[in-house]
Structure 1
């Protein structure tokens, strides 16, 4: 996949061969590549005073199989580089478009479909087996990924004997892992902008011999080379809000798969819990 540097190199190499309109597009991209990554061909054409077809021919002139290929490569390369301020500016541009609500929700549905298409069932089965065999399961997610980590930990706590969600609080994150061993498993959730502390913790857990499972967005994510198994969930960041819908859906699938593996324990645990909930009136009566 083409990246930002590759795009700049292509522009430089082919600039003198471009038409007048295509050169206007090239100049605009060089100055505004962070915005162009999330512009449609039509919007880019409007911004540069050329037709949509000229934008498509520009992408072809640089060797891309259509404008979407150029745009995807650019998006992939800059998603960890955009600041929150830049992302907020992008969201303001998107709000100018019609049907903004539908646009966001359709993008989430597309991310789920693309995540499903990329699922490796064999890897999922191996992860479930490793979770089943682990003495203790640790779950790590920093920054916005902490939402996913807490959700996963909430439900795995009903299924497994020993689950620890690694949170930054009174205890430092390393304090949670003081007793991690080769018999334990760490599920690490990491999405852009990738939190640096995540990789320090994974390094520590690897040094203790623990099994590491990763949940991230791309084969190019820095977590991939550090883990035994990895699951990928599609992720867009074309607003200042991290879209975690597809990762949440993937985590739901993982929870269900683990619960099936631990069916007898789950049934026993929920029978105990229902008695406790009734005794202490945890929920409102019907």
Structure 2
């Protein structure tokens, strides 16, 4: 990703858990990256369509004493490098894509050491059954993993609904022989997920977690946490890196399932016989 004003602002917000109002301010700042260091708090509030106190609270949430301190910081870092050719032509949607590309680069760097993923693959392959947990924003990640994992793993149990039965389902998996649980945990983090992981560990399950940060609230209840950042440039988070990390974990799990290839071939043969897919 280029290192122009918009990119430098994205780095300032990266990893911050912002409220919807604060995200709106950040979004407006990225759109007007070259002008923001020279705007007053009132002007920025008008640009974002929020109140002036919201701008002050936003600056404090970023770790500054107030908006003047944030503006001084922006004047130091935002204009420090000239934009690369074409960057000023990026619209807000392209900037979101560029931010996700950077998240994928970070994930690629993390995977230079394959040991954590390989360990996770062994834990997941050995667990029979294998519960896969993901609630709210993370439910689609859990569901996607469980869909593909079921093609190679003999017993995958998707836990994508909360409520009083969640602990019951974790208990049932443990009684059936589960030794590990895979969790996808993305912001905003439901308290229910944190409580479920604490309970899972209390009954002897090893917890493997894909989270947006190594400092996510679920970290203290995870035996093995592998981070994959989410994009925060749009109104709602984007999760390309967590999705890709889920597929990487699938690959590692397949490597530790000796009959994985045979199961895939059996599925393909059955699908062809049923005319399941249109080629």
Per-residue deviation at 1:46? 4.6
Residue aligning to 2:240? 245
- Once residues 56 and 185 of structure 1 are traced to their aligned partners in structure 2, the CA distance between those partners, rounded to angstroms, is 45
Residue aligning to 1:273? 267
Residue aligning to 2:84? none
Q: So what's the TM-score if we normalise by structure 2?
A: 0.69
- Partner of 1:215, secondary structure, is strand
Residue aligning to 1:26? none
Q: So what's the TM-score if we normalise by structure 1?
A: 0.67
Cα distance change, pair 196–121 in 1 and its aligned pair in 2 (3 A): same
- Once residues 233 and 182 of structure 2 are traced to their aligned partners in structure 1, the CA distance between those partners, rounded to angstroms, is 27
Instruction: Output one character per residue of 1:183-235: Cα deviation in whole Å (capped at 9) or x when no partner.
Output: 42111111111111111211221111111011111122111111110100011
Residue aligning to 1:260? 255
Equivalenced residues, count:
221
Residue aligning to 1:282? 276
- Once residues 57 and 200 of structure 1 are traced to their aligned partners in structure 2, the CA distance between those partners, rounded to angstroms, is 40
1:206 maps to 2:165: no
- Once residues 33 and 152 of structure 1 are traced to their aligned partners in structure 2, the CA distance between those partners, rounded to angstroms, is 32
- Partner of 2:208, secondary structure, is strand
Which of 101, 106, 119 aligns to 1:109? It is 101
Q: Which has the larger radius of gyration?
A: 1
- Once residues 195 and 216 of structure 1 are traced to their aligned partners in structure 2, the CA distance between those partners, rounded to angstroms, is 12
Per-residue deviation at 1:243? 0.4
- Once residues 219 and 269 of structure 2 are traced to their aligned partners in structure 1, the CA distance between those partners, rounded to angstroms, is 43
Conserved in 2, the CA contact under 8 Å of 1:44 and 1:55? no
Matched ranges for 1:54-203 at <5 A: 58-59=72-73, 66=77, 99-119=91-111, 120-168=113-161, 172-181=165-174, 183-203=178-198
Cα distance change, pair 34–245 in 1 and its aligned pair in 2 (3 A): closer
1:230 maps to 2:225: yes
Conserved in 1, the CA contact under 8 Å of 2:214 and 2:226? no
- Once residues 205 and 94 of structure 2 are traced to their aligned partners in structure 1, the CA distance between those partners, rounded to angstroms, is 43
- Once residues 47 and 260 of structure 1 are traced to their aligned partners in structure 2, the CA distance between those partners, rounded to angstroms, is 55
Residue aligning to 2:210? 215
- Once residues 44 and 36 of structure 1 are traced to their aligned partners in structure 2, the CA distance between those partners, rounded to angstroms, is 11
- Partner of 2:150, secondary structure, is helix
Residue aligning to 1:71? none
Per-residue deviation at 1:99? 2.4
Conserved in 2, the CA contact under 8 Å of 1:180 and 1:205? no
Per-residue deviation at 1:171? 8.6
More displaced stretch, 218-227 vs 270-279: 270-279
